[in-house]
Amino acid sequence: MKKLLVLGAGTAGTMAVNKLRPHLSADEWAITVVDATPDHHYQPGYLFIPFGTYEPDEVVKQKATLLTDGVDLLMGEVDVVKPDDSVVVLTDGRELGYDQLIIATGTHPRRDQTEGLDGDQYGITIHDFYTLEGATRLAEVLDGWEGGRLVVNIVEMPIKCPVAPLEFMFLADAFFTERGIRDRVELTYVTPLDAAFTKPVAAKHLGAMLEQREIALEPDFMTMEVDGDRNMLVSYDEREVPYDLLVTVPVNMGADFVERSGLGDELNHVEVDKHTFLSDDHDNIFALGDASNIPTSKAGSVAHFAVDVFVDNFLQHIAGRPMTGKFDGHANCFIESGNGKGLLIDFNYDVEPLPGKYPLPGIGPFSLLKETEANHWGKLMFKWTYWNVLLPGRELPIAAQMTMAGKERAEQAVGASA
């Protein structure tokens, strides 16, 4: 009996095993998923909790209920992977052998990586919404907040869902406007990027949206420390940004066992081929989702499109054939912009987000880089799609590879937005 071992029962790990199990004979392949916690979180839902749209229990299900029949879930924490021996060692000493290994343990906010973020002001003047606990606590704070300087800062890229901090700003603007205290709130967006986003056309659109809402943008800000005594963000070039309430996006890092196993980069993301997800150094180790170092967004859509490419590749690989699928870095993200509207971006390794219609050219129903009510409802409907279509491994009528159909070319987009 051959053994497929999957580390992590999050988005990528769950989709991968649910799609692979029907293709792998139960007489030939045992599939085991290892995870340290029993709860699966719909992480895009964290964004809505501080503003009262979702309650915490709406974004949590049991991992065991999300795995298809014929997949074993083993609760445990990984200590180290021994690639040369094809063995995973858990912290309680158990050793698990494998023929093929998939690492899908995600990336996680690490406040301890920045001086001052993990101090006694966390939970008082310093908050985050990238954890369920942080988002829940922040909901209580915002509900009674009477105004002041609210700062959202990204410490370092890459992060999970890179548009989420922008979405938080847009939703905060709408939230405080609805409460009638927007004139008493000063909003500032602090980012290590040189603009609101990473790509020129999208950055221009999103930067204009910040400006329209009178949200200050502080770019090129490399956070060195958070001075909790003075309520001050401090950069390496000695700039300072004062705050009364700081909503931070800490450094995101992969699991510590990745470093101990010699499999990762400086942020503990597993080093793999960006098209096939196969380890750079080991022929029987793959990494999927946020756990990998592929140079695209760490987002649920990427995991979805990547797994679609991965399944056929994996079946070819274990059959001793070349992998023919080439993931193109396809990502798309609904961006909630407040007041019942949102926009959508769709891009890959080589093509930046552009205006147009998606998924049907000229029809949509979703508009790219344009605020619409349809995009807002698309964002909210995605939660149902996530639980009922993506995680079970059912097919969506959307190609894994990005298409230019329905998009304006870059020169058209720049001209239109000038």
What is the 3-class SS of 84-138, one letter each residue?
A: CCCEEEECCCCEEECCEEEECCCEEEEHHHCECCCCCCECCCEECCCCHHHHHHH
CB 287, CB 264: distance < 8 Å = no
- Cross-strand partners of 365: 359
pLDDT value of residue 195: 92
* Whole-number Cα distances in Å, 288 to 56, 200, 233, 377, 378: 27, 28, 34, 28, 25
What tokens were used for 390? 């993506």
CB 406, CB 80: distance < 8 Å = no
- Cross-strand partners of 73: 33
111-246: CATH, from 1.10.20.10, 1.10.1740.10, 3.20.20.10, 3.50.50.60: 3.50.50.60
Q: Which residues of the chain have pLDDT under 70?
A: 410-418
* Whole-number Cα distances in Å, 49 to 43, 133, 215, 370: 11, 10, 21, 25
- Cross-strand partners of 101: 5, 285
CB 226, CB 126: distance < 8 Å = yes
Instruction: Give this prediction's pTM.
Output: 0.94
pLDDT value of residue 197: 87
- Domain ranges for the chain, please list them: 2-106+255-318, 111-246, 331-417
pLDDT value of residue 410: 56
Q: How far, in Å, CA of 220 to CA of 190, rounded? A: 8
Which three-class secondary structure string do you get for the chain?
A: CEEEEEECCCHHHHHHHHHHHHHCCCCCEEEEEEECCCEEECHHHHHHHHHCCCCHHHHEEEHHHHCCCCEEEEECCEEEEECCCCEEEECCCCEEECCEEEECCCEEEEHHHCECCCCCCECCCEECCCCHHHHHHHHHHHHHCCCEEEEEEECCCCCECCCHHHHHHHHHHHHHHHHCCHHHEEEEEECCCCCCCCCHHHHHHHHHHHHHCCCEEECCCCEEEEECCCCEEEECCCCEEECCEEEEECEEEECHHHHHCCCECCCCCECECCCCCEECCCCCEEECHHHECCCCCECHHHHHHHHHHHHHHHHHHHCCCCCCCCCCCCEEEEEEEECCEEEEEEECCCCCCCCEEEEECCCEEEEECCCEHHHHHHHHHHHHHHHHHHCCCCCCCCCCCCCCCCECCHHHHHHHHC
Q: How far, in Å, CA of 346 to CA of 409, rounded? A: 13
pLDDT value of residue 355: 94
Q: Do domains 2-106+255-318 and 111-246 have the same CATH topology?
A: yes
Q: How far, in Å, CA of 333 to CA of 160, rounded? A: 12
Q: How far, in Å, CA of 61 to CA of 40, rounded? A: 5
| For residue 365, cis peptide bond before it (omega within 30 degrees of 0) | yes
- CATH fold for domain 2-106+255-318: FAD/NAD(P)-binding domain (3.50.50)
Pairs from 140-143 (Cβ < 8 Å, separation ≥ 24): 141/245, 142/50, 142/51, 142/172, 142/175, 143/52
